[in-house]
């Protein structure tokens, strides 16, 4: 007697504004599959427009999971996301294709290669690490990590604030390098699945234009109201949700510190820089995936 058919998953990665969500929706309608959020900012509630989560209309066309299910007041970790995915896999009909879509490299790493099981880091230690790198540019962040943890410094493709804070906080809380946890035997969350792995790679000028258009439409599409709602929650500015590109810029407009045109310009520049970092990470870690023009 033959065994059960192999479970299947489609992984769709790419820089922000590359068209990932549209492709995921198309594949979901073709296969009857389930779309799973693989973006660290789109887990947060309230900020649907600011984080470019799928629209309500899109969600009505196919089942979407792990979107907007975390309060902006929480500090949601990669480990928490991995746990949510494990539960989702267990609860989902094996016949359904799982379509993972997003731009967070560490989430895809957990899916394919496994997730380093690092002990929970106290919020106050994370806050200390965030304060320590505040105001440092990429060069000085890299120098700081190299001084504290040379091994993890060699592994960082780009010393962006999130990864630097993670490395420093783990070292301070556990006395061990994050690298030692990463080197432990791991199994990807999708071990045993048949995988289709895609990276959307639009032309640079096309991507830049899409990013600019996105922020121009956000201001009339509900982003201002979302940031106003978050501001009433009086959250710690160091929380991940508060660092979503567009939140600080729109908050400055609301407070009268900046006009709309300047806010859009700053948000567009920050997003283009973020997209560049995403592409660098993907070129280094996803070179064996199928790259397609978006």
Q: Is 15 annotated as a binding residue?
A: yes
Cα separation, 257 vs 249, whole angstroms: 9
Q: Do residues 56 and 106 share a domain? A: yes
* Residue 16 among known ligand-binding residues: yes
Closest CA to 266 of 279, 276, 253, 284: 253
User: 193 and 90, same structural domain?
Assistant: yes
Domain tally, the chain: 2
Does residue 14 have a known ligand-binding role? yes
**Does residue 78 lie within any of the structural domains?**
yes
Side by side, the strands of the sheet bearing 290-292 are 64-65, 34-37, 98-101, 8-13, 194-200, 290-292
Predicted pLDDT at 262: 96
Question: Is 187 annotated for ligand binding?
Answer: no
Convert the pLDDT of each residue in 199-254 to its tens digit.
999 999 999 999 999 988 998 899 999 999 999 999 999 899 999 999 999 999 99
**pLDDT digit string (tens) for 40-95?**
999 999 999 999 999 999 999 999 999 999 999 998 988 899 999 999 999 999 99
Answer yes or no: is 24 a known binding residue: no
Residue 53, domain member (yes or no): yes
Looking at the structure, do residues 64 and 198 belong to the same domain, yes or no? yes
Does the annotation flag 276 for ligand binding?
no
Give pLDDT, residue 70. 97
- Regarding whether 195 and 57 lie in a shared domain, the answer is yes
Alpha carbon distance 9, 32 (integer Å): 12
> What mean pLDDT is reported for the chain?
92
Same domain, 112 and 193: yes
18 known member of a binding site: yes
**pLDDT at res. 173:** 94
pLDDT at 116: 73
CATH at 166: 1.10.20.140
Assess whether 38 and 167 both reside in one domain: no
**92 shares its domain with 12:** yes
175 is in an annotated binding site: no
Structural domain includes residue 145: yes
pTM of the predicted structure, to 2 decimals: 0.84
Q: Which domain holds residue 86?
A: 8-116+187-202+287-292
pLDDT value at residue 123: 84
What is the model's pLDDT at position 170?
94
């Amino acid at each position: 007697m033959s065994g059960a058919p192999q479970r299947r998953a489609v992984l769709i990665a790419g820089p922000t504004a590359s068209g990932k969500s549209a492709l995921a929706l198309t594949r979901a309608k073709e296969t009857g599959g389930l779309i799973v959020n693989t973006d660290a900012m789109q887990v947060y509630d309230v900020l649907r427009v600011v984080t470019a989560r799928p629209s309500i209309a899109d969600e009505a066309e196919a089942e979407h999971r792990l979107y907007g299910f975390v309060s902006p007041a929480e500090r949601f970790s990669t480990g928490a996301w991995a746990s949510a995915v494990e539960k989702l896999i267990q609860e989902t009909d094996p016949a359904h294709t799982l379509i993972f879509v997003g731009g967070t490299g560490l989430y895809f790493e957990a899916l394919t290669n496994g997730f380093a099981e690092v002990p929970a880091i106290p919020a106050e230690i994370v806050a200390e690490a965030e304060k320590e790198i505040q105001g440092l540019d990429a060069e000085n962040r890299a120098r700081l990590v190299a001084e504290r943890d040379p091994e993890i410094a060699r592994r960082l493709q780009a010393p962006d604030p999130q990864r630097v804070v993670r490395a420093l906080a783990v070292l301070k809380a556990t006395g061990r390098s994050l690298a030692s946890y990463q080197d432990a035997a791991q199994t990807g969350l999708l071990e045993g699945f048949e995988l289709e792995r895609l990276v959307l790679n639009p032309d640079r000028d096309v991507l830049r234009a899409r990013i600019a258009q996105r922020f121009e439409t956000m201001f009339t599409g509900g982003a201002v109201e979302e940031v106003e709602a978050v501001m009433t929650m009086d959250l710690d500015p160091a929380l991940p949700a508060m660092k979503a590109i567009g939140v600080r810029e729109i908050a400055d407009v609301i407070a009268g510190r900046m006009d709309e045109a300047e806010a859009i310009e700053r948000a567009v520049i920050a997003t283009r820089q973020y997209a560049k970092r995403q592409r660098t990470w993907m070129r280094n870690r996803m070179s064996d995936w199928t790259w397609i023009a978006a």
